[in-house]
């Protein structure tokens, strides 16, 4: 059979059956085979970066259990996917990227020329530092073994993206049916993940047994663990407090003992908890500068630290832990069931102190603005509390406003571009999530971020998904403008000077999508309740001109619990 047909059969056999693409000459054989199989959901996008983010969204929704394909043609089609590949790499999201390539006889090989074939590009070399595995398939016989190797790598250990570059002539070459059947029946070679050892467990139990003021910190490496929610529910029942990083916040249900997000833009009570606990258990948190602040020596100043991470290179990287355990979060949750005997020395007043700090911090930090981000998200929490919702946040002040104020119910999740911090991520990723979930998806974006992949409004209208876009339009690139205010005397080159944004509800209308505008605080009560009842595409534009601050925030060099502005009470 034709190699591209064999590729389709292999992917179907491993339940990879969704493909996001922008058609090009060097992927037509593969797309035709996927379509002719009758078992693929092929979604045509208007940019390969969007295709990459959308494929990432499928894996994010399924907690890394389902892989989708993002496909682009040779040359610009391949390079346009790089930002999405990087986003998967830094946030540990498994995804299969397939690029078309010129015919093998047109490859430049070792010749000292820049290019031989039209749109020839060595994408494998370009993405090697951003993938778990990347290879060019130079013969039809190599195709299925390379697919097997790539999918196995994507799903093994710390998950991540893989890429295969497949020349056009390889795609149309015949492969023997015997070889195809052999690889279709070959299970993936997924390597076992590291687990908590008996000796590690004993040391953990000793440190927990001595702790009077313990604190659990859930990071991105724990957010997809199947046992996490039940384990945190047990912590809640036992009076053990917990916080999260930005990426950990994606799946943490807002129960009573959850004290929200730590870090430079974290909640005040969460940072206070870190700085005043005597044992910090960091599960899947890499403890980077946005989590700890720049003063690493002062981070968790009174605490012994236990760090659990699947990646040994992340252990003792910035923060020197008292106990470093190379293991999955799932392994940790399973070997340490929470019961009263785990924390026998627990100070009964610890939780009350944290509750007091949270109450002290529960003020509207933006009461001086016409429309308060805190109030907007508070309303969303109330209006959508009983619905299954996936929030997807872009990058900028609106991302931090959401992270500080969104409170998730048990049937909800939120998704962030963490390590890459890619503007333009949210809308296309939300398309992938909505296709997979069939439930309501709400995009939180800014005027700058939405304009990067705004062309996918046409894709949304075509698909008719239950997806609402809330664009917080401050008519400026607010987060960078805030930096300019602090460090460049308010010189606003390219954030306000030389920058502009359109009427987003007018653009939505041009694409056939209904829209509403919120221009004053009273409009929140008029527009936001519509989200609960509306089915299908919708855009809500929130006018917030001049809103360029995220409060509270941590100035560089300050200690984690010294956020600005300081509270008076």
CATH assignment at residue 517: 3.40.50.970
- pLDDT value for 293: 93
- pLDDT value for 383: 98
Tokens found for residue 174: 């015949």
* Residue whose token pair is 């470093």: 324
More confident residue, 188 or 484: 188
**Alpha helix positions (H), 92-227:** 123-127, 140-155, 168-171, 177-184, 198-210
Q: Is 229 helix (H, G, I), strand (E, B) or coil?
A: helix
Nearest to 260 by CA among 381, 422, 392, 371: 381
Q: Are residues 47 and 68 in the same domain?
A: yes
Q: Are residues 252 and 308 in the same domain?
A: yes
What is the per-residue pLDDT across 446-503, written as a single tens digit (0 to 9) for each? 999 999 999 999 999 999 999 999 999 999 998 998 888 888 988 999 999 999 999 9
What is the per-residue pLDDT across 326-366, written as a single tens digit (0 to 9) for each? 999 999 999 999 999 999 999 999 999 999 999 999 999 99
Q: What is the mean pLDDT of residues 271-277?
A: 98
- pLDDT value for 508: 98
For residue 326, tell me if it sits in a domain.
Answer: yes
Domain boundary among 361, 392, 427: 361
What whole-number percentage of the chain has pLDDT above 90?
96
Domain boundary among 162, 184, 206: 184
Rounded to whole angstroms, how far apart are CA atoms 185 and 175?
16
Q: Are residues 73 and 97 in the same domain?
A: yes
What whole-number percentage of the chain has pLDDT above 70?
100
Q: For the chain, what is the mean pLDDT?
A: 96
- pLDDT value for 482: 83
Q: Are residues 204 and 285 in the same domain?
A: yes
Q: Are residues 286 and 389 in the same domain?
A: no
Structural domain of 31: 3-184
Under 8 Å between Cβ of 22 and 70: no
For residue 234, tell me if it sits in a domain.
Answer: yes
Q: Are residues 285 and 148 in the same domain?
A: no
Under 8 Å between Cβ of 151 and 191: no
Q: Are residues 247 and 108 in the same domain?
A: no
For residue 533, tell me if it sits in a domain.
Answer: yes
Decide: pTM greater than 0.75: yes
Q: What is the mean pLDDT of residues 407-412?
A: 97
Q: What is the mean pLDDT of residues 312-338?
A: 97
For residue 389, tell me if it sits in a domain.
Answer: yes
Q: Are residues 344 and 383 in the same domain?
A: no
For residue 564, tell me if it sits in a domain.
Answer: no
Q: Are residues 310 and 435 in the same domain?
A: no
- pLDDT value for 569: 62
For residue 329, tell me if it sits in a domain.
Answer: yes
Q: Are residues 355 and 383 in the same domain?
A: no
For residue 233, tell me if it sits in a domain.
Answer: yes
For residue 171, tell me if it sits in a domain.
Answer: yes
Q: Are residues 30 and 122 in the same domain?
A: yes
What is the per-residue pLDDT across 87-123, written as a single tens digit (0 to 9) for each? 999 999 999 999 999 999 999 999 999 998 999 999 9
Q: Are residues 411 and 517 in the same domain?
A: yes
- pLDDT value for 520: 96
Is the pLDDT assigned to residue 568 strictly greater than 80?
no
- pLDDT value for 486: 81
CATH number of the domain bearing residue 319? 3.40.50.1220
Under 8 Å between Cβ of 410 and 253: yes
Kind plus residue range of the DSSP H or E element containing 232: helix 228-238
Beta carbons within 10 angstroms of residue 349's beta carbon: 10
Domain boundary among 361, 391, 426: 361
Into how many domains does the chain fold? 3
């Amino acid at each position: 059979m034709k190699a591209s047909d064999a590729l389709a059969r292999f992917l179907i056999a491993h339940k990879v059956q969704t493909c996001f693409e922008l058609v090009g000459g060097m992927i037509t054989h593969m797309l035709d085979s996927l379509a002719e199989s009758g078992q693929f959901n092929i979604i045509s996008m208007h940019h390969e970066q969007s295709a990459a983010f959308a494929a990432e969204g499928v894996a994010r929704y399924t907690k890394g259990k389902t892989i989708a394909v993002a496909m682009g043609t040779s040359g610009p089609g391949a390079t346009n996917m790089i930002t999405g590949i990087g986003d998967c790499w830094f946030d540990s999201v498994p995804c299969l990227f397939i690029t078309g390539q010129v015919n093998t006889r047109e490859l430049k090989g070792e010749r000292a020329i820049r290019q031989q074939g039209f749109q020839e590009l060595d994408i494998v070399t370009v993405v090697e530092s951003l993938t778990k595995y990347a290879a060019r398939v130079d013969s039809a016989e190599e195709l299925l073994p390379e697919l097997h190797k790539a999918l196995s790598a994507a799903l093994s250990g710390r998950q991540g993206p893989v890429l295969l570059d497949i020349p056009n002539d390889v795609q149309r070459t015949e492969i023997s049916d015997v070889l195809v059947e052999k690889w279709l029946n070959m299970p993936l070679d997924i390597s076992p993940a590291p687990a908590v050892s008996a000796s590690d467990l004993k040391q953990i139990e000793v440190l927990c047994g001595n702790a009077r003021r313990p604190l659990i910190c859930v990071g991105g490496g724990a957010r997809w663990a199947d046992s996490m929610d039940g384990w945190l529910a047990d912590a809640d029942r036992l009076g053990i407090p917990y916080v999260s990083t930005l990426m950990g916040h994606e799946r943490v249900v807002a129960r009573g003992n959850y004290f929200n997000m730590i870090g430079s833009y974290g909640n005040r009570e969460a940072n206070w908890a870190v700085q005043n606990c005597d044992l910090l258990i960091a599960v899947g948190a890499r403890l980077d500068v946005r989590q700890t602040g720049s003063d690493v020596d002062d981070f968790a100043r009174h605490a012994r630290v236990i760090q659990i991470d699947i990646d040994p290179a992340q252990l003792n990287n910035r923060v020197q832990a008292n106990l470093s355990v190379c293991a999955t979060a799932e392994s940790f949750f399973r070997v340490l069931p929470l019961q009263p005997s785990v924390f026998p020395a627990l100070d009964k007043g610890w939780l009350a102190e944290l509750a007091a700090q949270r109450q002290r911090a529960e003020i509207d930090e933006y009461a001086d603005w016409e429309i308060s981000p805190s109030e907007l998200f508070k309303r969303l929490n109330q209006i959508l509390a009983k619905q299954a919702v996936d929030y997807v946040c872009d990058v900028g002040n609106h991302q931090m406003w959401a992270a500080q104020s969104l409170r998730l119910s048990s049937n909800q999740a939120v998704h962030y571009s963490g390590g890459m911090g890619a503007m333009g991520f949210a809308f296309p990723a939300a398309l992938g999530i909505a296709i997979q979930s069939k439930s309501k998806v709400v995009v939180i974006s800014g005027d700058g971020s939405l304009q990067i992949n705004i062309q996918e409004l046409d894709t949304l209208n075509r698909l008719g998904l239950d997806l609402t876009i809330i664009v917080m339009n401050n008519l400026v690139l607010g987060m960078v403008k805030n930096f300019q205010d602090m460090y460049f005397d308010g010189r606003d080159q390219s954030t306000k000077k030389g920058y502009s944004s359109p009427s987003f509800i007018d653009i939505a209308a041009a694409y056939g999508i209904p829209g509403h505008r919120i221009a004053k605080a009273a409009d929140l009560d008029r527009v936001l309740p519509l989200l609960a009842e509306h089915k299908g595409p919708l855009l809500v534009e929130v006018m917030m001109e001049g809103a360029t601050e995220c409060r509270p925030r941590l100035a560089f060099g300050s200690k984690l619990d010294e956020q600005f502005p300081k509270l008076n009470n």
